[in-house]
Structure 1
Amino acid sequence: MKHQTPMTCTRRKHTMKVASLTILGMLIFASTLIAQQGSALSFDGSDDRVTVPYDSSFPTEVFTVTAWIKTLPSMGRSAIIARGEDDNSFNLSWQAYVQPDGTLQVMLENQNDNNFCYPFSCMGQPQPTCTFGNLFVADDLWHHIAITRSASGVLVLYVDGQAESTCTQTGVPSSNNFQSLTIGCTHGTIGPPPGGVEPPIWFFPGLIDEPAMWNVALTAGEVSTVFQNGVDPDGAGLVGYWDFDAGSGQPVLDLSVAANHGFLGTDGNLAGDPADPEWVSLDVEFHRADCNADGQTDIADAVSVLNYLFGSGAEPPCGDACDINDDGSLDISDAISSLADLFDPTFPPIPPPHPGCGADPTSDGVNCSAFPPCP
């Protein structure tokens, strides 16, 4: 069961795992909301980008790229991550982008300057070797995208951990490409570039987080694991993982062993430049134990927890506030903790943030998409 947040710079919900537990003969659903704290980068759709200087470890024919994105439909194509046009060969290798209609698309180009787009052709026609699913990702919600291409030419496009399109007999990406990797745009032009330099194009409007790149084609199960649990920095074949959690500064560090570090904008100048995307926080301040978010802690909060677990109560907008004992799940022990805090002075204190507002000091997987009582 997937949950995405509205268009705010908050922590995102990756997914919800629902496990059934029998307690006192009743069925309780303990929800573990996989989430992350930290920051992301906001791209203006005009000139913002992240640049990763070319390295021979960049994959070409066999690859996987993933990222979390949050965007709306735009007037043109919006590149997420790309090995764009080379200044000398005029060849690109591959690029993942969002179409003007809000769907995920991939372009490959071979060494003969032939472009291949999937699952729709570059002219917008369905590719006969592709299957088609729901590739719409421009709805102002967080989506996880993944693209894999195998040695046999099978290209798979995933959205939120699910394979939505599979294409066979795909074009072979050009290896004659020494262009920098770009996040938030690509490079290219029709015909030889002016002055011999391929210009940046297809700027992305919105948020991007945790882009990653492998020199292997991940399996469907491995893509699902990345979607559910995040990228393993020590994973086999990983040659780029930029978690965007620095929150400030020009460097964009690669956490993989390949150490393909990048920088904001067009150069690593610490003073910055106009093409720098903006760091944004994904954390939401909340008050633990104020489950119903009414600005106070009382018996109504325990009732809210129980109503969610056993009744018809909606999923709380701030799971962290209802995870009253901060054990990383929502269950009957949270209602017990709420009541004990109110009526048992010997009960251990509620974990922070309590009794006031603050960010979650623990990264336990429970999410908070909004908490209006806190600034």
Structure 2
Amino acid sequence: AAYELLHLGANRAAGGGDDQAVALTPAYVDGALEVTLTSAAPLAEGLYRLTVRSDATNGLQNLAAEFLDQNQDGTPDPYVATLEVDLTPPAVSGVAAGTCLVYDDGYDMVTLPHEALNGLAAYTLELWFQTTKTNGQSLISAIQSGNTAAVQFWLTNGTLYVESASSSVSATLDGVYDGRWHHLAVTYSDAADRMEIIYDGRLLTSAGYTGAPPSVSPGSFIVGQEQDAPAGAMDAGQAFSGALTELRLWDYARSRAEVDAMRFQRAAGDEAGLRACWHFDEGTTTITDATGNGFDGVLGDWNSGDLPRWQPATAWWNDHRTLYVTYLDIGGMDTASVQDTANYTILASGGDGVFDDGNEVDLTASLQSVRYVPATRGAVLAFDATLPQDMVQVTIRGTATVRDAAGHALLGGNDYVSPGVPVALGVPAIAAVVAPETDTGFSDSDGITSQTLPGFRVTVDQPGTIAVDSARNGSWEASRDVTAAGSWRVDAVTPFADGATTVPVRFTSWLGAVATTSVALTVDTTPPEVGAVTAGTALSFDGSNDYVVTTAKTWGFTTSATLAAWVKTTDDTGTLISLAHGDVNNELLLLISGGKAQVIQHRQPGSYWYRNGTSVINLGRWVHVAAVFDGTGVNAMRVFVNGIEEPLGTTGQAGSPAAVSDATPRWVALGGRLRGGSRSELLAGQIDEAQVWSRALSPAEVAALVATAPVGNEPGLAGLWRLNEGVGTTVVDAVAGCNG
């Protein structure tokens, strides 16, 4: 009764309902220090727990009647140990290219040096990740003194929030919970007060961000946990769940183009501006900073549980330097034999995916090291050069070399030879158009066709499978296997209805990498007819050089004025109408700023009023915009959009502006701001029916302009440019002949 041996069952833990007691018979020779315990039958394979009791009823005692005190603290304590019975030779369950770090127990984390992030007035943080957890989780958390966030990446309900103590920006990440690899980059500039979120190569958010450069408390730059106190107070429900790899920190705000250019590349570590880089391919408890700047991280678990674990990464990068071998064995592998590089042979197929045909390339000499990860029974094979884009075969010697901890040779003494392991370097190239022979429009490249089942010409850079989703429902019902790089035709199998649409096209390379694109298609099976005849034109400005300027004149202003025009643009900033005589003295402006209407009244340099509208008007459709100046101050400047007065937006004042003056002749400029011979705030878009009034129109009069264009003789109408000439380089003023 002093001894208890439990087989811990399939769950390998006590208390799971499948524990089984094993009867033991002790044998002891008086005066000895050893006891032999014998079971009635051979032990089955599995994990066992042996307890030697110390209680007064059944506890083990010495000759002095002292009970077992395993801890030697003066209080009886039992001895508890586990032992593994391993009767089966080890095997290999698979080989994959690349490694990543998996978070799965609620308190997994990586702690990075806080000095890496501290004080950066600009930075870019980027990483690859995959997850299926839909409720809130923290990807990156850095806490400053006072338990407030210096930087927090918080993902919940498909939206990423990037937060600090004083500011926050967000973006919706499409498809983020699909379990696939996604790339995320966040850029910050203190000088520009701006933060950007770039997801899978697309700029999703560029917004004002007033957070100061991070000041991170020691130990609290953490990947995978949310902190309510520096390096502490973590909640398993808010932890990241998924996989991470290739985390980089740059010391400047990278552009979208820069991020996208290196998205599928492994950083070398010596790139300009790269402050720290963690590849997440070590297979150890230390995460090495590849830049050599010494910002090494460590794996951890806030609740003293299992560490994050290493596993194969199924994403494709432009630089694979690791293979991940997963061993199968109940008791674990013998570390020394697994880590001996002499036990491995690595071959590339020679580009055809076939082995034993004589054209293989031996890569074994580039195998630099093998690191065994006991927690996952995995081994990371690290190479000193990039693996080729090819199928790779791994042979592991089992002939009395690689063995498990119990001494069994791999596969009972046989070599393991893997099937071909795909090594895909980057996303394959793909381009697609409507096949010219089925593009029946005026041009064979305009994407317009009269055929309801057109063909698509798809160009790819390697063998694989092309698929076209002509039904646009995710079925990818039209597909073709291609044996080489080139241009291939795939015909739609689901008829298209008349109209414009976008057709998804996908290419899966022979190595499993996937690239997608789309084709703009217009199907028109109906002969044309005339629907209507309309009169009038507008004037289009290119935003680079185009403008209209009139001769200078006085406009009859006393104390007030009104400027009005129709505009159609997607430009964020540009001028509709400006009145000036060479500098900002007595300048009136109607502009678009930040996508909204803006009015400015200058008296002289450093003395002005301005007011912004609140409606976004750069939506690519016609909008009527008017500004009314009554000369009494910024709060009396009024902005109208489509005849409706805008609520009070942003306003400002400097110096001592005055009422609208007509003391100096001024020209009118359309599409740009002309001062002292320079041009600025040029508009990309169209303007029509531009007007200058020498009085403040009432709200009702402004609303009437939306419905009916002025005739030209209305009281106070000082200038009217209809912009309907259609030809030539002159625009006519219908009121006073002040042409431009």
Instruction: Report the 3-state secondary structure (helix = DSSP H, G, I; strand = E; otherwise coil) of the residue aligned with 2:242.
Output: strand
Return the letter of the residue paired with 2:359: P
Alignment pair present for 1:215 and 2:251? yes
Return the offset for 1:65: 0.6
- Does the aligned pair in 1 maintain the 2:219–2:231 contact within 8 Å? no
Distance 1:275 1:185, change over 3 A: farther
Alignment partners' CA distance in 1, 2:266 and 2:297: 20
Which of 289, 311, 315 lines up with 1:254 in the alignment?
Answer: 289
Distance 1:362 1:158, change over 3 A: closer
Q: Which has the higher helix share?
A: 1
Return the offset for 1:176: 6.1
Return the letter of the residue paired with 2:418: C
Return the offset for 1:177: 4.0
Instruction: Report the 3-state secondary structure (helix = DSSP H, G, I; strand = E; otherwise coil) of the residue aligned with 1:223.
Output: helix
Higher relative contact order (CA 8 A, sep 6+): 1
Instruction: Report the 3-state secondary structure (helix = DSSP H, G, I; strand = E; otherwise coil) of the residue aligned with 2:246.
Output: strand
- Does the aligned pair in 2 maintain the 1:70–1:208 contact within 8 Å? yes
Alignment partners' CA distance in 1, 2:231 and 2:394: 56
Return the letter of the residue paired with 2:234: P
Alignment pair present for 1:282 and 2:313? yes
Structure 2 counterpart of 1:71 = 131
Distance 1:367 1:230, change over 3 A: farther
Alignment partners' CA distance in 1, 2:393 and 2:231: 52
Return the offset for 1:141: 0.8
Return the offset for 1:266: 4.7
- Equivalent positions of 1:46-65 (< 5 A) are 46-55=106-115, 58=118, 60-65=120-125
Structure 2 counterpart of 1:149 = 188
Superimposed CA distance per residue, residues 61-106 of structure 1 (whole angstroms, 9 cap, x where no aligned partner): 421111111101333x2111221x23x432321122311x123221
Structure 1 counterpart of 2:153 = 96
Which of 94, 98, 118 lines up with 1:38 in the alignment?
Answer: 98
Distance 1:183 1:354, change over 3 A: closer
Return the offset for 1:258: 1.9
Distance 1:236 1:54, change over 3 A: same
Alignment partners' CA distance in 1, 2:310 and 2:208: 38
Return the offset for 1:359: 6.1
- Does the aligned pair in 2 maintain the 1:58–1:215 contact within 8 Å? no
Alignment partners' CA distance in 2, 1:92 and 1:354: 46
Structure 2 counterpart of 1:226 = 262
Alignment pair present for 1:204 and 2:240? yes
- Does the aligned pair in 2 maintain the 1:144–1:159 contact within 8 Å? yes
What is the aligned length? 252
Return the letter of the residue paired with 2:158: G
Instruction: Report the 3-state secondary structure (helix = DSSP H, G, I; strand = E; otherwise coil) of the residue aligned with 1:55.
Output: helix
Return the letter of the residue paired with 1:154: R
Superimposed CA distance per residue, residues 39-70 of structure 1 (whole angstroms, 9 cap, x where no aligned partner): 11110161110111322654544211111111
Instruction: Report the 3-state secondary structure (helix = DSSP H, G, I; strand = E; otherwise coil) of the residue aligned with 1:224.
Output: helix
Which of 76, 99, 106 lines up with 2:162 in the alignment?
Answer: 106
- Does the aligned pair in 2 maintain the 1:104–1:135 contact within 8 Å? no
Distance 1:40 1:176, change over 3 A: closer
Distance 1:58 1:45, change over 3 A: farther
- Does the aligned pair in 1 maintain the 2:116–2:295 contact within 8 Å? no
Structure 2 counterpart of 1:325 = 350
Instruction: Report the 3-state secondary structure (helix = DSSP H, G, I; strand = E; otherwise coil) of the residue aligned with 2:115.
Output: coil
Alignment partners' CA distance in 1, 2:178 and 2:424: 27
Superimposed CA distance per residue, residues 302-337 of structure 1 (whole angstroms, 9 cap, x where no aligned partner): xxxxxxxxxxxxxxxxxxxxx9633xxxxxxx5xx9
Instruction: Report the 3-state secondary structure (helix = DSSP H, G, I; strand = E; otherwise coil) of the residue aligned with 1:217.
Output: coil
TM-score (norm 1): 0.58
Structure 1 counterpart of 2:3 = none
Q: Aligned residues: percent identity?
A: 23
Alignment partners' CA distance in 2, 1:169 and 1:54: 22
- Equivalent positions of 1:1-375 (< 5 A) are 37-44=97-104, 46-55=106-115, 58=118, 60-75=120-135, 77-83=136-142, 85-86=143-144, 88-99=145-156, 101-109=157-165, 114=166, 116-119=167-170, 134-150=173-189, 151-175=191-215, 177-188=217-228, 198-201=232-235, 202-247=238-283, 249-266=284-301, 273-282=304-313, 325-326=350-351, 334=352, 348-351=358-361, 352-353=392-393, 357-358=418-419, 360=421, 368-369=511-512
RMSD: 3.6
Q: Which structure would you say has the larger Rg?
A: 2
Return the offset for 1:198: 4.1
- Does the aligned pair in 2 maintain the 1:70–1:142 contact within 8 Å? yes
**Long gaps (5+) in structure 1:** 1-8, 12-36, 120-131, 285-322, 327-333, 371-375
Distance 1:173 1:135, change over 3 A: farther
Structure 1 counterpart of 2:620 = none
Alignment partners' CA distance in 2, 1:171 and 1:57: 14
Return the offset for 1:238: 1.8
Instruction: Report the 3-state secondary structure (helix = DSSP H, G, I; strand = E; otherwise coil) of the residue aligned with 1:139.
Output: coil
Return the letter of the residue paired with 1:261: D
Alignment partners' CA distance in 2, 1:360 and 1:238: 32
Superimposed CA distance per residue, residues 7-64 of structure 1 (whole angstroms, 9 cap, x where no aligned partner): xx996xxxxxxxxxxxxxxxxxxxxxxxxx3211110161110111322654544211
Return the letter of the residue paired with 1:63: Y
- Does the aligned pair in 2 maintain the 1:147–1:157 contact within 8 Å? yes
Alignment partners' CA distance in 1, 2:232 and 2:122: 24
Q: Which has the higher strand share?
A: 2
Superimposed CA distance per residue, residues 249-285 of structure 1 (whole angstroms, 9 cap, x where no aligned partner): 2111111232111111059xxxx9415111112369x
TM-score (norm 2): 0.31
Alignment partners' CA distance in 1, 2:227 and 2:279: 23
- Worse overlay, 357-366 or 132-141: 357-366
- Does the aligned pair in 2 maintain the 1:91–1:174 contact within 8 Å? no
Alignment partners' CA distance in 1, 2:244 and 2:115: 22
Alignment partners' CA distance in 1, 2:180 and 2:424: 22
Superimposed CA distance per residue, residues 106-143 of structure 1 (whole angstroms, 9 cap, x where no aligned partner): 1122xxxx3x2212xxxxxxxxxxxx665552221110
Alignment partners' CA distance in 2, 1:102 and 1:224: 22
